[in-house]
Structure 1
Amino acid sequence: MKNNSSIDKIRSFNRFYTGFIGLLNKKLIYSNYTLQEVRVLFEINCTTYITAKQIREMLRMDKGYLSRILLKFDKLGILKKEIDITDGRTYKLSLTQKGKLEFSKLNQASELQIMSFLSNLDEQDICMLTKNMENIQNILLKIK
């Protein structure tokens, strides 16, 4: 049932949700980082070693844009690059100690933001919200 009403409802929800969690703000969670930068930090943090190509594929990000983000991280001293011994043209990326601390601060700020959103809800509403989010995610995974 793909009709204009469904499309309007999805677009309306997207506008509401991106505004609700502040995705349209230039910087995320009162930090010096954009949403895209925080996502790249997240991916690097969650993997022992990851390549730029793997990040690009996961996030469907433009090569040039990712390159600029990684250059910024390098200049800030939060990114560690090691040549991949199996392919000398590739770098394995990880966070420096400073980068791990920076990510930890961002992660904690994100958790506090979500806790503040949930503070006005009772357990039943929180359960319904998270279950509906899981349902949305499962449905959208069928599209990929």
Structure 2
Amino acid sequence: MPHEALVDEIRRFNRFYTRLVGLLDETLVQSPYTLTEARVLFELDRRPRTAGGEAGLLARMFHLDVAPIASELAGELRLAPVYVLRILRKFIAMGLAGIHAGPEGGPSFVSLTPRGKAALADLEAGTIRDLARLTDKLCDEEALALSDALKRVTRLLETART
């Protein structure tokens, strides 16, 4: 298969899947969060993010002490650091995330609050519900074939990347 045809086929699949699961909708799974915000919630839950050093009063007031965390997350998610910083500030203002002093005077860190964990649990439940609805008409054999195809695509693309 010519490379251009493969690229076209991947793009066609991306458009199909994006429409199918509603990734271009304003918010994700009928929630108040965008796809990017949902991903940031997930990443904050996966591991707390450490900020560098002790921030001064103004830095804490304007949440500038989370800038290093925003930069780290932005690099991992391939987003603009200022965009991730805005999301972190929004989450802090909404009570979804909090800045906490590090143990024994160490650097502060950002993690989800109980409210943030509940928001993430709602998002995950909605995603599971939507994907289950998407695949519920597949028989066992079709579900297995889809699972195998997804694993194969992942393996092929990971191999091609290295």
Both structures adopt the same fold (TM-score exceeding 0.5): yes
Aligned to 1:20: 20
CA distance in 1, matches of 2:117, 2:36: 17
Which runs of no fewer than 5 residues in structure 2 stay unpaired?
51-68
| RMSD, matched Cα | 1.7
Work out whether 1:72 is the aligned partner of 2:90: yes
Amino acid at match of 1:50: R
User: Cα offset for 1:83?
Assistant: 4.1
Percentage identity across paired residues of the two chains:
31
1:76 and 1:2 map into 2 onto residues whose CA distance is 50
* 1:56 maps onto 2:74 in alignment: yes
C-alpha deviation, 1:73, in angstroms: 0.5
Instruction: Tell me whether 1:6 sits opposite 2:6 in the alignment.
Output: yes
Greater Rg over alpha carbons, structure: 2
Deviations 1:50-82 (A, max 9, x none): 242442232122100100110110111010112
1:132 deviation in Å? 1.1
Deviation at 1:2, TM superposition (A): 4.4
Aligned to 2:56: none
Bigger strand fraction: 1
Mapped partners of 1:105, 1:83: distance in 2: 28
Higher helix share: 2
Shift of 1:31: 0.5
* Deviations 1:19-78 (CA, angstroms, capped at 9, x unpaired): 11110101000001000000010111122x224244223212210010011011011101
- How many residues are aligned here? 140
Q: State the TM-score, normalized to the length of structure 1.
A: 0.88
SS at match of 1:93: strand
CA apart distance, 1:133: 1.0
1:123 partnered with 2:140? yes
In structure 1, what is the Cα distance between the partners aligned to 2:139 and 2:72? 40
Structure with higher RCO (Cα < 8 A, 6+ apart) = 2
Q: Which moved more, 1:65-74 or 1:133-142?
A: 133-142
- Post-superposition offset of 1:5: 1.6
